[in-house]
Structure 1
Amino acid sequence: MDFSRVELTGDGQAFLDEIRTFLDKNVTDEVRRRDRETGDNFDEGVHLAMGEAGYLEREYRKADEGGFSRVESRLWALERRRSHVPWVTWGTTILVSHSVEAYGSPELCEEVMPGVFSGHVRMCLGYTEPEGGSDIATCKTRAVRDGNEWVINGSKMFTTGAHNCRYVFLITNTDPNAEKKHKSLTMFLVPLDTPGIEIQGLRTVDGDRTNIVYYNEVRIPDRYRLGEVNGGWAVLRGPLDAEHGVVAADADGLDDIAILQHQGMFMGTAVDKVATIVERPGADGRRRIDDESVAHRLGKAVARIEVALSTSNMYGRVAIAQTMRDVAPELMDILGPASVLPVETDGAIDDGASEYLYRWAPLCGIYGGTLEVFRNMIGQYMLGLGRPVYAPVKS
């Protein structure tokens, strides 16, 4: 593995200077404070500014289509993390937009895509249902054809960003009698201002806002259908693979080697803060790091984080999420009682970094599917261990 430092060319350095200036101007402390309060992980002012500057379309497009070069794309991703850009709604919009271009009619693309690049059109994922868990193919939300329209009834959980989006990428059941559940699914791009849609906010333990969305006799024209009737699984596979982190990385090494690197880098920042604190002499002149147990536990945490951040593909997703769960309480224990105080609280020893990591870690093992689901996928598809069996063992 090559850990050498990349030397930027003149153009590369100029681009880095440009985006740092842009992000420092637009992603202010007030933006970050407001994002913590709302839990939206989205800021419309920042998003529209990125659209106006052309960054949204350049991030979306390939280099030969006018998008970022590979180095520019990597710099953009790293600098967004450094600035803590509220980003999740743009991430879901990118996933859905590719499916719109691939499976939507020319009229639908013309309606949707220009607003995506300006920042005015955002899209969210309507997958999980209250009783469905991570197995989204068990979809119960029904879409019934009525002439050139569809009538949709049901509900979806964890539709993050719905209150800030114009469309939802909705998985529905259009053939409840199908022999195979994957053959009963049809995808729609549903305008969220359609009568019959109700969005209710939910706050998670880490402070983020997500939503439950109810669909009651929602009528949409057939032109909002993506792909074939009962062929929704083919439409869904691309976005689902990207969300799961099983899309192959380019050989140039400029991609994240695994999904959840954003969360993993936050974990690295938190442990760096702890390391800085334990190296400082206390009121008695002693340093915590000189205690062998503290040095051992901190060193073990650092090693686990480095391994997790260096693990690729789906393995890396599991490694990062599990490491966050294991390391966060260890860091808090090293720092002591003041570590339970959240960010911007008087007396918070590390400005709430480890406390937030502790609350965030369980969610990172649920995003896009639970850790248990991904471990089963690794066992079945990557290690060839066969399908898991949950039925009681017959004696």
Structure 2
Amino acid sequence: MTVSANDEATAFGEAVAGLTRRHWGDATAAAGTGLEKLWHAAAAQGWFELGSAEALDAALAATMELGRVACPLPVLDGFVAGRLLPDASGIESGQMRVLVALDGTGDEVAYAEAATEATHVLVLPAAGGVAALREIAGVTEQPGLAVPAWARIRLGDPVATADLDAARADEAVLLLRLGLATRALAAAGRAHEMAIEHAKTRHQFGRPVGGFGAVQQRIASCQIDLSAGNLLIAQAVRQWTSHAADWSSWAEIAVEHARAAAPRIQLGAQHTLAAIGYFEEHEAPWLFRRVHADVTRLRAFPRAVGEFADVLVETEASLPSFDMGEAGEAFRTEVRELFAQYEDRFARSTMALDHELVQAVADRGWLGFAWPEEYGGRGATLAEQVVLNEETAYSGAPISKALGAVMLLGNSILKHGSPEQKEKFLPLIRRGELAFCLGYSEPEAGSDLASLKTRAVRDGADWVINGQKLWTTGGHTSDWVWLAVRTDPDAKPRQAGITVFLVPMDTPGITVQQHRALSGEISCTVFYDDVRVPDSARVGEVNGGWKVITDALAGERITMGNIAAALHRQLDDLLGVIRADIDGTVGPRGSARRAELGKVAVGVQATRALVSAAIDATGQGRGARLEAPMAGVLGGETAEAFGEAVLDILGPAAALEVIPAAPDAAFEYGLRLSVMYVVGGGTNDVQRGLIARGLGLPR
């Protein structure tokens, strides 16, 4: 087996964990005196050779393990010093124990970490210039939140210097920021792990506390924050390793996410641990100190180019992309070329269908192109399927309903349909001509679909259906309904007695009542009164409908990126408005509006990271048990936050259907639509419950 760089970094992290346990202990050791011994042992094991080796993956793997035990050993300081001063003897061996600080403080450095064990400080010019390695002439501890305590350092004479241009200096600062953010997130992650285990075993009121809804919701939210943060850090490392031009954007996004998320995760863990995590015999108080100390110290390393929001506003930058591989990116170019021919017909504030564009897409064989060749497909890759859906959502191309027919019906008919159903419906879907709606939700069965009550009773060669369905979007214009009904009321478990039918909407006994949603979309209540359908309308086995439904919903793994893609487009539209009048919209650096912009931009990218992870899990055949609901929850809530942020940033203009500065944007529509993202397909509260149970918490 070939060992990848990531495998090597993982192995290195495990070695770090073992050495740290031996010379430091767990997080409760933060108040002790083991740091100097660990520093020498770490140097002997080559931890401070990582900078000259450009091994950022290993350095951050080590930093994560140190964060988990609340240890402030400055591995990233050594990484930066080793890169900038490769000829300085003693750094790699540990004879010279180096911290890094920014210039502008004269002969003193405040708020220094691990200063009592250090011997030198590398003073960096943030905007470029001469970096100076200076001896430590004196140390005064500054007791407070951080343990071990921060210190004020008095600097001695320089012993080495290096000329840095602005780009190299900014890279060094960003590496230090990434190290602090990674350590804080890892410390919070350790507290979160302990909170999960505590919730499984701690009993109150006769049951594990992890069975209470409030605890599950909190733990799931923390897991989303933690998973997204780890994915963003991993992506930054990949970009560094491949020498990608946009690695700095990835790194700063990871920093910004961790800066906000790590304290939330830590506080969530403290709440779940309750009193047991409040006393210093437990690791949690020491992890609390580490998280907040590291997040606070990020302000000691400001970038000369400003925060991530400043970079977005003041340059032509957007969110960095996720590479879908050679085939996926080649297909992306092809899709964009087609959509460019029809872009004057696009409208991002409607879900209408453009039949001419649908026909053009169908003519190219893109509807059902992942199907086997015998059914009209060409075995398209997962990447190509994802790209088609992403580009559709980003551009607002009016073909989403045709794609939905492929994902939600076609793939399931391929698996469960009869030969006659495949022959009839698959060609319709490939041509984009199957107008359908979903008959799932009921008055007493929304997110809990297994409790549906609409009945189908066998009557000779037919079935007779009675019941009511709610929120049947597009039911008034559909030709067919994909209908889930109960065929065995006594089945255990409940989902065992469900069957799926594909029923013509003009069947006698079907009555449609229209309702206009907040988004302007028409959704329907549909009544089924003695609706008689032949057994040939049944899809799959009798009482086997749950498998048919779950296979249909599996297509959502491919379409789940649509929310993130639509938000990405809204962000780019917003940036276009802002750049045309920076002072009039977000104001100077450090303004609250810029901070709000940066927050939602990072939220969009975190959502994209979770979507990418869910797609990867699906492609590898692992499923996406946690990744998919996490992406859904974060996407919906980011959509809501984005809509509100646009109102705050642009003011009343953002509440108009069309604003002159961005006539194609759909800001106010996006805000109205955002509510659907947190209730459609299962509310976020229910999704968090699924995440919690995926983490092992009880029902």
1:49 aligns with 2:355: no
- Change in CA separation of 1:315 and 1:62 when aligned onto 2, cut-off 3 Å: farther
Change (3 A) 1:48 1:151: farther
User: Deviations along 1:79-107, whole A, 9 cap, x unmatched?
Assistant: 32343122442243222222222222212
8 Å CA contact 1:275, 1:298 repeated in 2: no
Distance 1:78 1:21 in 2: 15
- Which of 124, 138, 154 is the equivalent residue of 2:467? 154
Whichever residue aligns with residue 47 of structure 1, its letter is V
Tell me the distance in 1 between the aligned counterparts of 2:328 and 2:566. Answer: 29
Pick the structure with more helix per residue.
2
Structure 2 counterpart of 1:250: none
Secondary structure at the aligned position of 1:58 is classed as: coil
The separation in 1 between residues aligned to 2:498 and 2:585, in whole angstroms, is 64
Q: Give unpaired runs (5+ residues) of structure 1.
A: 246-255, 388-395
Match of 2:404 in 1: 92
Deviation at 1:193, TM superposition (A): 2.6
Contact 2:482 2:500 in 1 (8 A): yes
- Could you report, residue by residue, the CA deviation over 1:27-52 in whole angstroms, capped at 9, with x for unpaired residues? 4434x34x84xx44433333233223
Distance 1:49 1:99 in 2: 24
* Alignment partner of 1:264 out of 550, 564, 580: 564
Aligned length in residues: 364
Question: Structure 1 CA distance, aligned partners of 2:650 and 2:502?
Answer: 48
Paired position in structure 1 for 2:606: 307
Contact preservation (8 Å) 2:368, 2:377: no
Q: 1:324-377: CA deviations, max 9, x gaps? A: 2223212211211222112x35x5777653322221211111121110110000
Cα gap change, 1:204 to 1:61, in 2 (>3 Å): farther
Match of 2:654 among 314, 339, 343: 339
Q: Does 1:83 align with 2:395?
A: yes
Query: Is 1:294–2:593 an aligned residue pair?
Result: yes
d(CA) in 2 for partners of 1:7, 1:234: 30
- Return the letter of the residue paired with 2:491: A
Match for residue 251 of structure 1? none
The answer to whether the Cα contact below 8 Å between 2:445 and 2:451 also exists between their aligned partners in 1 is yes
Pair 1:215–1:48, CA change in 2 (3 A)? farther
- Classify the secondary structure of the residue corresponding to 2:523: strand
Alignment of 1:268-283 (within 5 A): 268-281=568-581
Q: Sort the Cα spacing of 1:213 and 1:287 in 2 relative to 1 into closer, same or farther, 3 A.
A: closer
Pick closer, same or farther for the CA change 1:177–1:285 going to 2, 3 Å. Answer: closer
Q: 1:334 to 1:350 in 2, by over 3 A?
A: farther
Task: Mark the runs of 5 or more structure 2 residues left unpaired by the alignment.
Answer: 1-234, 245-320, 614-626
1:175-186 to structure 2, matched below 5 A, reads 175-186=488-499
Partners of 1:286 and 1:145 in 2: CA distance = 64
Query: Of the two structures, which has the highest relative contact order with CA contacts closer than 8 Å and spacing of 6 or more?
Result: 1
> 2:540 matched to which residue of 1?
227
Paired residue secondary structure (2:673)? helix
- Structure 2 residue aligned with 1:391: none
- Cα distance in structure 2, aligned partners of 1:118 and 1:287: 46
Structure-2 change in CA distance of 1:147 and 1:329 (3 Å): same
Whether 1:123 and 2:403 are equivalent positions in the alignment is no
Alpha-carbon distance between aligned partners in 1 of 2:339 and 2:662, rounded to the nearest angstrom: 28
Residues in 2 aligned to 1:12 and 1:307: alpha-carbon distance in whole angstroms: 21
| Deviation of the 1:16 alpha carbon | 5.2
Verify the 8 A CA contact 1:89 1:161 in the aligned structure 2. no
Distance in structure 2 (CA, Å) of the matches to 1:143 and 1:73: 35
Q: Which deviations, in whole Å up to 9, do the C-alpha atoms of 1:146-200 show, x marking residues without a partner?
A: 1000111122122223344432221111222335322221111112232222333
Counterpart-to-counterpart distance in 2, 1:159 and 1:11 = 34
For 1:11 and 1:358, the matched residues in 2 are separated by: 31
Q: Give the Å deviation of 1:276.
A: 3.9
From the CA coordinates, give the structure whose radius of gyration is larger: 2
Equivalent residue, structure 2, for 1:23: 339
Whichever residue aligns with residue 307 of structure 1, its letter is: A
Task: Select which of 329, 341, 349 maps to 2:644.
Answer: 329
Q: Is the 8 A contact 1:42 1:87 kept in 2?
A: yes
How far apart are residue 225 of structure 1 and its match?
Answer: 1.2
> How far, CA to CA, are the matches of 1:285 and 1:192 in structure 2?
52
Shift of 1:269: 2.6
C-alpha contact 1:51 1:118 (8 A) present in aligned 2? yes
Which letter does structure 2 place at the counterpart of 1:51? A
Q: 1:273 to 1:72 in 2, by over 3 A?
A: closer
| Contact 2:654/2:667, CA 8 A, preserved across alignment | yes
For 2:602 and 2:497, how far apart are their aligned partners in 1? 46
Alignment check: 8 A CA contact 1:339 1:352 kept: no
Q: Retained in 2: the 8 A contact 1:339–1:349?
A: no
Give me the whole-angstrom Cα distance separating, in 2, the residues matched to 1:139 and 1:329.
35
Determine helix, strand or coil for the equivalent of 1:56.
coil
SS in 2 for 1:210: strand
Are the structure 2 counterparts of residues 332 and 289 from structure 1 closer, same or farther at C-alpha, using a change threshold of 3 Å? farther
Letter in 2 for 1:266: A
Q: Deviations over 1:58-96 (max 9, x none)?
A: 254589952334554454334323431224422432222
For the residue of structure 1 that corresponds to 2:647, the secondary structure is helix
Opposite residue 646 of structure 2, the aligned amino acid is L
* Contact 1:126–1:168 under 8 Å retained in 2: yes
CA distance in 2, matches of 1:327, 1:191: 39
Q: Using the TM superposition, give the Cα deviation of residue 17 of structure 1 relative to its aligned residue in structure 2, in angstroms.
A: 5.4
The two structures, once aligned, show a CA RMSD in angstroms of 3.2
Contact 2:357–2:399 under 8 Å retained in 1: no
Of 448, 457, 464, 1:144 maps to 457
In 1, the alpha carbon distance for the partners of 2:365 and 2:413 equals 20
Q: Is the 8 A contact 2:497 2:543 kept in 1?
A: yes
Q: Does 1:67 align with 2:366?
A: no
